[in-house]
Amino acid sequence: MMSKPKIATTSLAGCFGCHMSVLDIDDRILQLVDLIEFHKSPINDIKTFSAPCLVGLIEGGCCNEENVHVLKDFRKNCQILISCGDCAIMGGIPAMRNNVPLKECLEEAYLNGVTVHNPSKKIPADPDLPLLLDRVYPCHEVVKIDYHLPGCPPSADTIWEALVALLTDKPLELPYSLIKYD
Amino acid sequence: MSGKITLIIDGQEIEAEIGQTILDAADAAGVYIPRLCAMKGLSPHGSCRVCTVHVNGRPQAACTQPVAPGMSIENETPELKAHRVSVIDMLFVEGNHYCMFCEKSGNCELQAVAYRLGILAPQHDYMFPCRGVDASHPEVFIDGNRCILCGRCVRASQELDNKNVFQFVGRGIHKRLTFNAPNNLSQTDLAGIDKAVDSCPVGAILRKGTAFSVPIGQRLYDNEPIGSEIESGRRTNDRQV
């Protein structure tokens, strides 16, 4: 028997809501594990790619250099990349900072905000912290993305339909009821 | 001048009256042509170009073009669909359209046309422009992030409210909506019940205190695509203005 195709998932600048929506397919997850094997994913805590994957499911846009690194790693190791959810597609809530210069964002968060308690009066700059990008980038502005599943989050049915279509070599055609941007 | 003529839309013969626009004639015949800046009860504007059809092979805005005998019109073609997708894409990337927290979501015509066209993600890069919000008015607020410059509020204020609250300033990418007051919206004679407030197709002009009053699943475009009411001849969703 051929080994099952692998799927990898990650959450970049997202809230894990899209991963919750993956789990929201309920008992269909039993059918899913018959069809696929979860590889690198927060669901099983596998941290690195050790084999090529068929599908990479990306939640969240790119707000820091680590997001870009992970996204490029996914592009290298996954045959099909899916932007899952509005953050991956258009930046989402994190992209609301795109209208404000990064310096002002950090000063508001760590120095000037009315509820800020920061006796050191310093903005965190530890080398271990991923460097923030000038703005939040949608995934398809960083790497080639093959499919987009809009929604905040995309409904479990949307994710299910998309995965089943891909795994059974059918065209991905979402019905009207599954195309939602909210 | 009045009189009945026949035209052809996508191979189907329909009856029209001299003096009607292509859009009005198509609506009356149960043929939906997507549109954003056109609205029943307002003079046509012809600015969004979503309603572009091919008339005897030439592109024309259906909302401004009067019907004429012998017209053969193409509406649902792959080429025109691609054109409409492109226009809607550009409207999305030119503004800041955060559907996930917009209270107009589900009732928004921009979103609804995108749903109907099956758009999953724009093909252009987002511009993330800097636009302002004016919440000074006691009953109404304006969010410039969501404005698509359709001009419906400008016309509704003049033609239906007999006021002149809104107007455009600037040209090209610098064009923006402004209002007839020195500093903020509360200084205008806009009232909460004005039809200009209802005319906004997106969430740029909203009445305060009405957010999320309709649950998800029961909103205007949750279950049926925009234009279904025209296609079924029901016309029930036409806003009464």
B196 shares its domain with B106 = yes
The answer to whether residue B241 scores a pLDDT higher than 50 is: no
Shortest alpha-carbon distance between residue B131 and chain A (Å): 8
Residues of B in contact with A90 (CB under 8 A): 92, 97, 121-122, 126
Q: Are A174 and B118 inside 8 Å of each other by CB? A: yes
Q: Are B98 and A93 inside 8 Å of each other by CB? A: yes
**Which pLDDT belongs to residue B233?**
79
B102 shares its domain with B181 = yes
ipTM of the complex: 0.93
B92 shares its domain with B190 = yes
Q: Are A182 and B100 inside 8 Å of each other by CB? A: yes
Question: The domain that contains B174 carries what CATH number?
Answer: 3.30.70.20
Residues of B in contact with A86 (CB under 8 A): 99-100
Select from 3.90.1010.10, 3.40.50.700, 3.40.47.10, 1.10.150.20 the CATH code of A6-95+135-178: 3.40.50.700
Q: Are A177 and B121 inside 8 Å of each other by CB? A: no
**Which pLDDT belongs to residue A99?**
93
pLDDT, averaged per 10 consecutive residues of chain A (182 residues), comes to 87 97 94 92 94 97 98 98 98 96 96 95 94 97 97 97 92 94 94
CA distance B190 to A107: 38
Which sequence spans correspond to the domains of chain A? 6-95+135-178
In chain B, the number of structural domains is 2
B64 shares its domain with B168 = no
Residue B108 resides in a domain: yes
CA distance B16 to B239: 22
Strand B133-134's sheet: what is its strand order?
Answer: B133-134, B140-143, B205-207
**Which pLDDT belongs to residue A2?**
67
Domain boundary among B46, B76, B106: B76
B68 shares its domain with B91 = no
B37 shares its domain with B132 = no
Strands A37-38 and A6-11: parallel
B72 shares its domain with B89 = no
Question: The domain that contains B65 carries what CATH number?
Answer: 3.10.20.740
Shortest alpha-carbon distance between residue B98 and chain A (Å): 7
Residue B237 resides in a domain: no
The answer to whether the CB of B4 falls within 8 A of the CB of B16 is: yes
Task: Average the pLDDT over B199-212 and give the result.
Answer: 96
Q: Are A176 and B96 inside 8 Å of each other by CB? A: no
